[in-house]
Amino acid sequence: MSNSMKITAGQTLTRTLTALIRAMDGQRAATITYVDSKGEESVRTIEIHNILTTSKGGIIVRAMCRTRGEMRTFNLEQIKAYTIHRIRFVLAVPAEVEELPLAHLAVTAQEMVDLELERDYPEPKMVLAA
């Protein structure tokens, strides 16, 4: 991949996600231009360790931030530009982060469908009359 910044507004969300997944799989650092919830823009070099969906269907990127030296969460839609580097990961993930249990782990396609259906159509809660 080239080291020129890719502007996310100029490509599909799928293409951005695919590039970030490739960076994660290849353990390649990425530099992102990110706009936080306050509207402040920053440039960060990150090492992506996980890409997850939220219960509302948003996509978040969990990555070690080289600026902060800690695990951070980035909303995919707030990443305005990125570049993938050839340099490999260099930061160690803290043990407490590595050992966090996965809330939703699907090994098969059927398990993934079941998890998604459970999220969208939760079991009704039984209320007992006193």
pTM of the model: 0.69
Instruction: Classify the C-alpha dihedral 66-69-74-78 as positive or negative.
Output: negative
Q: Residue 46's pLDDT is what? A: 96
Of 12-16, 37-41, 46-50, 76-80, minimum mean pLDDT range? 12-16
Residue range 68-125, pLDDT digits in tens: 899 999 999 999 999 999 999 988 887 765 444 445 555 566 776 776 677 666 666 5
Calpha distance 24→49 (Å, rounded): 6
Specify whether the CB–CB gap between 94 and 71 falls below 8 A.
yes
H/E stretch holding 115 reads helix 109-120
**Nearest Cα to Cα of residue 47 among 69, 75, 78:** 69
